[in-house]
Structures are given as structure tokens and as C-alpha cells.
Amino acid sequence: MTYLDFDKTAVYGKLAALAENYSFNYAKNLDAERVRKCLVPQGGGLNYSWAAKSLDDRVIALLRELAAEQELIGKYKALLDGAIINTGENRRVLHQLLRGQLGKAVIDGGKDLGLFYREQTDRVAAFAGAVRAGTLRGATGKRFSAAVQIGIGGSDLGPRALYLALENWARAEGRAQLRAAFISNVDPDDASAVLARLPLEETLFVLVSKSGTTQETLANELFVKEKLRAAGLDPAKHVVAVTSETSPLAHNPAYLDSFYIDDFIGGRYSASSAVGGVILSLAFGPETFREFLAGAHEADALALNPELLENAALLDALIGVWERNFLRYPYTAILPYSQALSRFPAHLQQLDMESNGKRVNRDGAPLGYVTGPVVFGEPGTNGQHSFYQLLHQGTDIVPLQFLGFTESQAGDDVQVEGSSSQTKLLANLAAQIAAFARGQRAEGPNLNRDFPGGRPSSLIYGRRLGPAALGALLAHFENKVMFQGFVWNVNSFDQEGVQLGKILTKRVLQGVSGDAALDAYAALLGI
């Protein structure tokens, strides 16, 4: 395997040359045939539609060349087989293995890691089953009715987004049992507000920290334990830990139980592990979590397809590279036409920006090209009444990624003026894709109703958002980000950018800063 900076490849110059005077009126060609042709199955019943992307045959040919030259499928296979892809930390990258085996068995220190992950998933399932059945209860013998995750970053955003994504579905399917809440911020008002809404006696806390040393999470743990003790409840009967086996939280009688991950599961990639598994299994049942993993595994398998136009994650990745490095768009918007996905853009923001917001290559050498874009988004139709103004008529182009489902989750709907709300939702989605692509010219002199169009978008859609579709959706983006990292030759699996802040925070708290800027701001803030 050769790891090469992107601008050292032969195809880089060809793409740059093509982009120079590139023009392709995809909007003009956007008809039933193009829409039918530009469709790729993505797992979990989802499809990826790229008909409204600015991609002609010349671009596709070069992207295919890029995939081959940067050995993208080969690198993915190496990752699956347990190669040290996380170079800076000298670690394997095994979040796909959580969902199922696609490569060779990965043996580390004599341990079969695939087996280890499956054991943990089984332990989580048994635990959640006992809580849901009422055989495992709180300190006063009451059944648990609520579960609160205490974690931050990857231990929060992914599980929270997934919980919200399935809450309505599980209610409709009769699978919803414990309701979940989340405490993440070190701001004490976060924990205070969450606890004010819950019956402590019936609440099970899921403490999540891989290292067992995360400052925010330990502070919130103590916050919660003080409240439990004040209510006369034994914390050891109300808190489980999700951590690594080497952490101080592991095998610790202070917790009701502990579930394990290891260093090969990065925080932002950990939703498929016990980090997401415990809270989702408590809330919606272990079977729901297994269906989620199966959907993700299906998408992981499809991402092995070497044919660009049959591999949704690969194609999405390379379109993103084309837009970022050659069309020079510095951002991308995630627009789910599904209220259930209200926090999914926040998770993808972390996934993408923390993985590929890098300025050095996997060996630490500076790069001569741009890498990860800024990612943001909110659900449609809400966004239409908000920031879409800039997307339609701003001075810059923002590439768009739409998500949508033909059926609602709850099946609870109303007819107004001859159509259901679900149909209105989808009509808005179709209308926006067309409007962004084509625009509409106004006649002067007042051009405030002029829509330039030429704003490229893709669409991921399925029938109904349930666990398998959600798993495939998550895996799609994880794999997209992975492929982009391979193109850019960055390490998508470390996050050294968070370290400096941690060091400086510690200095402030220890009162030993001696750093003029830091001292000045600490004084300003009264600490």
C-alpha cells in the first residue's frame, strides 16, 4: 500500500486542469432518466441519488482514476484487516468490526477482537434485557423508567442523535420503554436542568468515558452521585460504566456493571459500541440495537465495491473532494427532511470536522491543499424558513446533502387542502432540489427575485427511518469520511487539536499559568 499526499498523485493535476474552466449544466439534464441512472443502493433500504451534482463523464472518469491511484478500496480492506491506520496514536481502527466481520480475524495480544466486541454487545443486550424486564431494579426496588447518559463529544453526540432518531419509531412500534436524557457539558446548569425533570429513584445513569479521566464527565458523575446520595440512593445501584478495561472505571464495585471498548474504537466512531449500545438498548430494546448494527454492517459491506458508481460512500466522498479541492466550496450543509434527525447534523459535524479538519498528513508533514470542510445543518422544512435564503441567493455556493423518507415514523398524520403533512414534507424536498439546481431567472432591473441556481445537491432516501436505515446512514457517513481521509492522506482517527486547550485549562485551574493572555482572560472572567 502506498500512502501519498493528494497533490503528489498524477490525477490531482488532471482534476485541477479540468476544474479550471469546468462547466456542466446538470440542471438542464435533470430529468427522469438522469435521476434514475444516478442512483446507488446504500444499505438499510437506502439509496444515494447524485443526479443534482455537477458531475459529467469527464469528472467521473478522473474520480475513478483517483480511487484507483490512492488505492481507496485497498486501504479500507487494510483497515478492516486491522492495519495501524491511526498512525499518530499507533492504533488499529475497528469500528466497522463492531458491526460484523468483513476482513480477516483481528488478533491483538492473543485476543480475537471481533469476538471481544461481540461478547460486549451480548453483555449489553443481557443487561438491558434485565432492566427492561424489571429483574434489575434501583436501590429502592423500583423499576427503572429513565436512563441518563453522562458523556461528552463522541460519548454524547452520536448516541443522542441516534436516540432522537428512533424515539418516535420505537413508540409507534411498541418498543419504547426507558426514556433517555443526556448530560454532557461541564456547565453545571446542564446536569441541574436534566436532573430537575427526572425521578432519581427510577433513573439509571450510564457513565461513558473511554479513558475514565474526561474532566467534564467526571465532574458530572460527582454531581449526579451527590444528588443520589442526598436522596438516600446508593450510587452503586444506579450507575453503570462504559469504558476501557485499563481505565479506573473498569471492574470497579462503585458501578452496577461495566461494559468495555478499547483504543481501536475512536470516540466519534463509537456509537456502534457499548457507548451507544447501552442507552439505545435500554430505551428501545437490544433487538433494535442489533437491527441498527445489521444496517450499518450492510453499508460497510457495500463500501467494499470497487466500482465507483456502485459504491455510495466512495462516490459521496469523491464528489466531496471534487467540490472542496477543485470547485473550492469551503462548507457543506446536511439537510434532513425528518424531524427525527434533528441532531444528526451535529453528529456529522463532529464526525467530519474532527476527523478531517487536519493540516498535516498521516506522518505529520504539512499539506499543500485544503482538507475537511465546515459541516452544518438543520432539518427541513424548518431550515427553509431560516438559512436557506443564503443557500438560494447568497454570494457563495454551499453544496447540499438532503436526507428524506417516504413514510413518517409514527404514521400519525392529517389531511389539509388535499394532502397529508408527510406529502407536503416530500413535496418541499423535491421542490428544493429542483429550485437549487435550476434556479429561476428574473427580469431586471430589480433582481431580488432572481435565483441563480447551480447549487449542487445529493439526496439519501429510504422508505421509513428505523434502526436498519439509521445504521446504514451512520455507516455511510463514517465510510465517506474515511475515504476522504485516504484521499487527503490525513489520519482521520486522531484529534490532537483538542490537546492544547486541555493543557491551558489545567494551568488556569492550577493557578500556575504565567501566560499573559491566559491570565488576562481568566481575570476578565473572574477566576
Residues marked as catalytic:
354, 385, 502
* Total residue count of the chain as it appears in this document: 527
Rounded to the nearest whole angstrom, what is the least distance from the CB of residue 228 to a second copy in the complex?
Answer: 12
Rounded to the nearest whole angstrom, what is the least distance from the CB of residue 127 to a second copy in the complex?
Answer: 26
Rounded to the nearest whole angstrom, what is the least distance from the CB of residue 168 to a second copy in the complex?
Answer: 5
State the Cα–Cα distance between residues 212 and 249, nearest whole angstrom: 6
C-alpha cell at 384: 427553509
C-alpha cell at 285: 430494546
C-alpha cell at 220: 458530572
Give the position of cell 488576562: 520
203, 208, 212, 214 alpha-carbon torsion, rounded to 10°: -100
H or E stretch at 420: strand 419-420
H or E stretch at 458: strand 457-462
141 vs 366, beta carbon nearer a second copy: 366
Instruction: Please provide the distance, in angstroms rounded to a whole number, between the alpha carbons at the two ends of the chain.
Output: 52
Backbone angles phi, psi at 330, to 5 degrees: -85, 0
33 vs 307, beta carbon nearer a second copy: 33
Rounded to the nearest whole angstrom, what is the least distance from the CB of residue 460 to a second copy in the complex?
Answer: 12
103 vs 266, beta carbon nearer a second copy: 266
Angular region, 526: left φ>0, alpha ψ -120 to 50, beta rest: left
DSSP for 324-377, please give it: IIIS---EEEEEEE-GGGTTHHHHHHHHHHHHH--SB-TTSPBPSS--PPEEE-
CA-nearest of 478, 498, 497 to 79 is 478
* Cβ(305)–Cβ(311) below 8 Å: yes
358 vs 476, beta carbon nearer a second copy: 358
Angle at alpha carbon of residue 409, lines to 406 and 415, rounded to 5°: 70
